[in-house]
A and B are shown apart, each in its own frame.
Chain A
Amino acid sequence: NAGVMQNPRHLVRRRGQEARLRCSPMKGHSHVYWYRQLPEEGLKFMVYLQKENIIDESGMPKERFSAEFPKEGPSILRIQQVVRGDSAAYFCASSPNMNTEAFFGQGTRLTVV
């Protein structure tokens, strides 16, 4: 049973470009969380999704950021018109249902140049 898969592991974008980060949850997991982590800091909650539904996006900036978890395929975190301040590690975690343990992917490290 493969773990949570995130790709790419590293992503470099120029200012103004779009970044798409993918997260394939563990088999049987229908809940996905996205977090952002700056160097030397903890994890900041961004968004919580179930299949085809956004449950809580209170941690996500209102502009330029969006997330989806379609019926088929991975969850996508999309950042439009990236700026240098978007540079960070983005982690996703999945769980089989609410109130259960979540397992993390290895993260995508976004660098905006």
Chain B
Amino acid sequence: TQLLEQSPQFLSIQEGENLTVYCNSSSVFSSLQWYRQEPGEGPVLLVTVVTGGEVKKLKRLTFQFGDARKDSSLHITAAQPGDTGLYLCAGEDSSYNNNDMRFGAGTRLTVKP
């Protein structure tokens, strides 16, 4: 089972639409990261959220960390074809006391022109 569950798994929308993707867990995270990965490349860090209830904006992307620090969402406004990619959330698995970083399976977003 995944420590972090991401939904939806796949999302295909038209340019200009808004969308939200989710990252959920039963565990509490000290911080949570969102990455975007394009085909043939490594994941690129978009943002880190640390405080419960925190909201961070990155141009048309809005990231929110749940109050209980168990979940997060990514909202994209007026999506563009350049937003196409695999969106991954990751967090430290403190239950092992090793704090190694675990990933969700990702949401694969396609934005059609």
Contacts and interface: CB of A to CB of B under 8 A. Distances in A.
Interface of A: 4, 6, 33, 35, 40-45, 48, 55-56, 58, 91, 93, 98-99, 101-107
A64 to B, nearest CB: 21
A35 B92 CA distance: 14
Given A42-B86, A42-B106, A43-B88, A103 B99 contact: no
A101 B106 CA distance: 18
Give the residue among A42, A91, A103 with the most B Cβ atoms within 10 A.
A42
Interface of B: 6, 30-31, 33, 35, 41-45, 48, 86, 88, 90, 92, 96, 98-106, 108
Contacts of A45: 100-103
Contacts of B41: 106-107
Which 7 A-B residue pairings sit nearest by Cβ, starting from the closest? Answer: A104-B42, A42-B105, A48-B100, A42-B106, A43-B103, A56-B98, A56-B100
Contact of B96 (A40, A56, A98, A103): A56
5 contacts: A43-B88, A91-B42, A98-B99, A105-B42, A107-B41
Contacts of A42: 6, 86, 88, 103-106
Given A48-B100, A99-B99, 18 more contacts: A40-B108, A42-B6, A42-B106, A43-B90, A43-B103, A45-B101, A45-B102, A45-B103, A48-B101, A58-B96, A91-B43, A98-B99, A99-B92, A101-B33, A101-B48, A103-B45, A106-B41, A107-B41
B86 A106 contact: no
Contact of A99 (B6, B31, B90, B96): B31
B103 A35 contact: yes
